[in-house]
A and B are shown apart, each in its own frame.
Chain A
Amino acid sequence: MSTATTAAGPAVRVRGLVKRYGHPVTGHLAVDGLDLDVERGECFALLGPNGAGKTTTVEVLEGHRSRTAGEVQVLGEDPATAGLDWRARTGIVLQSATDAADLSVQEVVRHFAVYHADPRDPDEVVEAVGLTGQRRTRVRALSGGQRRRLDVALGILGRPELLFLDEPTTGFDPEARRQFHDLVRALRADGTTVLLTTHYLDEAAQLADRVGVVARGRLLEVAPPDHLGGRASLGAVVSWTEDGRPREEVTAAPTALVRSLLERPGLLVDGEVPGLQVRRPTLEDAYLALLDSAGAAADETTDTPAPAPTPRRSR
């Protein structure tokens, strides 16, 4: 099914990416030696706290931002020098655009279709992002979630091989987010490589083949969502109430633990263990644990000069 096997090599290859804003020595270091590989046809999610360098990294990959140092190849070309043919192969979904406010959805999508050699059918794209009901609505009058879906429509019109989605579902209601996830899965099934940044860990868990955690401008770990931070081998957390107090135990054998609880004298109330919960570590648990340990690691090396606290100008 994949059509994105057009050339050898990964869709994205980054080695030692450095981006410093402002002054070349004392300026704010947003990205600090980041390495990244995104394979063709996969959906890759970049996770990380605000200010970790996700958006800066994506903007460098999109060709929207210059870099201070490092090697970047996107679809086999350097985004800093790539031309319009390369642009035609990438799709960008903007994070906060408010343009084209006075045009209707249909007018905007039909206009942008003209830019491409072999565009998707504009009406089908409007249908795919669920805006058929709003096709004659002025863009100004769309809700936040509808507006972002229009951005997605414009990003996929040209049948891009690689689609950049930078925090695409911020401000979506749960229903809109679910529809959006279906759309991304469909694109992915169609062979489109997707590079996603998001704050929503459930979104990354559902959509991504692999996730990468960025903190302080570096990639801490890359893994499939269910393996991040050794999650698959981590134990489950069993919690219950005993003597009126909450109890909690981490175990590799939760079933055995629950069975032992059943046999504990005086614990059961009406045959039930009070407040019983068995929880597998979520992606969020693994993610937060990773950030915690990274924070600790960074604190241990505070003898290196800290970057000057310049206000961030990206985003």
Chain B
Amino acid sequence: MSSTSTTGTTPGGVPAAGRAPARRRPSTARLALARVRLELLTSSRERDAVVFVFAYPVLMMVIFGAVFGDQELPDGTPFARYFLAGIAATAIVLTSFQNLAVTIAREREDGTLKRLRGMPVPVSAYVLGKVGAVLVSSLAQMVLLLAVARLAYDVPLPADAEHWLRFAWVFALGTVAGCVLGIAASALPRSGASANAVITPLVLVLQFVSGVFFVYGSLPEWMRSVAELFPLKWMAQGMRAAFLPESAVAAEPGGSWELGTGALVLAAWALVGLVVCLRTFRWSRRDV
């Protein structure tokens, strides 16, 4: 490659096309960071995204607080505290799974992915950008949700490192599983417009059967056995193990937090999602 001056402007006003062969393309890490920044900037300007990530969980907290404010579990744990766990788990699913499934389906349609495919950008930088942005906004969302629960509903935060650790791994594993499954599911809707229609009911039904809207132990057994197949039930249960007093374990159907099984199920879903992503992710809607 011949090297010419990289500065200067041609008479037509276009900066000159001189090339500097010594310069390397930016690393995937640098590109991923730039993508995280852009994703956050973009979603901060999309009303849907802001509503889903920040308003919805807080709204759930407010509604549950208003409806069940004076009720409690048999061991005396207030319902507000019980449902915080389910709301936290739901919030993670919305920000990772639902958000990615819908936005990527839309980006496949509006030319975002097609443009990136024509750029010197590896798919991994795009995916890492998505996951990084989800992690950042999920963390901000958790801080907001916990603050509202603590200040407005007197829900005590985990008191020791063990319980915070439970919160941390359920958050991390749930977010990663939600991200890869969301990316995988983005290929399901036939168009960006139908993405919301496909994904939203899926997530809503999961919330009903997974113990987010009702005390899990009060659900019929067949419903629980459906819920056990999916990640949300295990995330909600893991969050209960982080936020509820040990006495509340009596309200769990098995009399246990089942943390080992929960971790295995979430890890399995994350792995399945990753494999599906790697095998099916396409920059374009249809390449025939």
The answer to whether A and B assemble together is yes
A residues touching B (Cβ–Cβ < 8 Å)?
A: 3-6, 21-22, 62-66, 84-85, 87-88, 90-92, 94, 96-103, 107, 111-112, 114-118, 120-121, 124-125, 127-128, 154, 156, 158-161, 182-183, 185-187, 189-192, 313
Find out whether the CB atom of A65 lies under 8 angstroms from the CB atom of B287. yes
Find out whether the CB atom of A97 lies under 8 angstroms from the CB atom of B117. no
B107 to chain A: which residues have CB within 8 Å?
99
From B14, B18, B31, residue with most partner A Cβ within 10 Å: B14
Tell me the residues in window 135-176 of chain B with beta carbons closer than 8 Å to chain A beta carbons.
none
- How many A-B contacts if CB must be within 8 Å? 143
**Cβ of B205 under 8 Å from chain A:** no
Q: Which of B13, B18, B34, B287 contacts A3 (CB 8 A)?
A: B18
B117 to chain A: which residues have CB within 8 Å?
63-64
**Cβ of B112 under 8 Å from chain A:** yes
Find out whether the CB atom of A100 lies under 8 angstroms from the CB atom of B112. yes
State the CA gap A27–B10 with chains docked (Å): 47
Instruction: Given the known inter-chain contacts A94-B115, A114-B34, A121-B15, please indicate yes or no for A186 contacting B24, CB distance below 8 A.
Output: no
Instruction: Please give me the residue from chain B that is nearest to A125 by CB atom.
Output: B15
Instruction: Given the known inter-chain contacts A3-B4, A191-B17, please indicate yes or no for A98 contacting B31, CB distance below 8 A.
Output: no
B residues touching A (Cβ–Cβ < 8 Å)?
A: 1-2, 4, 6, 9-20, 23-26, 30-31, 34, 37-38, 41-42, 45-46, 107, 110-112, 114-115, 117-122, 284, 286-288
Find out whether the CB atom of A84 lies under 8 angstroms from the CB atom of B9. no
Instruction: Please give me the residue from chain B that is nearest to A66 by CB atom.
Output: B287
From A5, A97, A114, A125, residue with most partner B Cβ within 10 Å: A114
Instruction: Please give me the residue from chain B that is nearest to A20 by CB atom.
Output: B288
Instruction: Please give me the residue from chain B that is nearest to A88 by CB atom.
Output: B120
Decide if the interface of chain B is mainly helix, strand, loop or mixed.
loop
Find out whether the CB atom of A182 lies under 8 angstroms from the CB atom of B12. yes
Find out whether the CB atom of B14 lies under 8 angstroms from the CB atom of A90. no
Q: Which of B10, B25, B41, B115 contacts A99 (CB 8 A)?
A: B115
From A111, A118, A125, residue with most partner B Cβ within 10 Å: A118
Instruction: Please give me the residue from chain A that is nearest to B24 by CB atom.
Output: A117
B25 to chain A: which residues have CB within 8 Å?
84-85, 88, 115-117
Find out whether the CB atom of A159 lies under 8 angstroms from the CB atom of B17. yes
B119 to chain A: which residues have CB within 8 Å?
87, 112, 115, 158
Given contacts A85-B120, A96-B111, A102-B42, 15 further A-B contacts (CB under 8 A): A63-B117, A84-B25, A99-B111, A103-B41, A114-B30, A114-B31, A115-B26, A115-B120, A116-B26, A117-B24, A154-B115, A158-B119, A159-B19, A182-B13, A186-B10
Chain B nearest CB, measured from A101 CB (Å): 8
Find out whether the CB atom of A64 lies under 8 angstroms from the CB atom of B114. yes
Instruction: Please give me the residue from chain B that is nearest to A108 by CB atom.
Output: B38
Q: Which of B2, B31, B284 contacts A115 (CB 8 A)?
A: B31
B114 to chain A: which residues have CB within 8 Å?
64, 94, 97
Find out whether the CB atom of B110 lies under 8 angstroms from the CB atom of A84. no
Some 27 contacts from A to B, beta carbons below 8 A apart, are: A3-B19, A4-B17, A6-B2, A63-B117, A64-B117, A64-B284, A66-B287, A84-B121, A88-B25, A90-B118, A98-B111, A99-B111, A102-B46, A107-B41, A111-B34, A112-B119, A116-B26, A116-B120, A121-B15, A156-B14, A159-B19, A161-B17, A182-B12, A187-B17, A190-B12, A190-B16, A191-B17
Find out whether the CB atom of A118 lies under 8 angstroms from the CB atom of B115. no
B17 to chain A: which residues have CB within 8 Å?
3-4, 120, 159-161, 187, 190-192
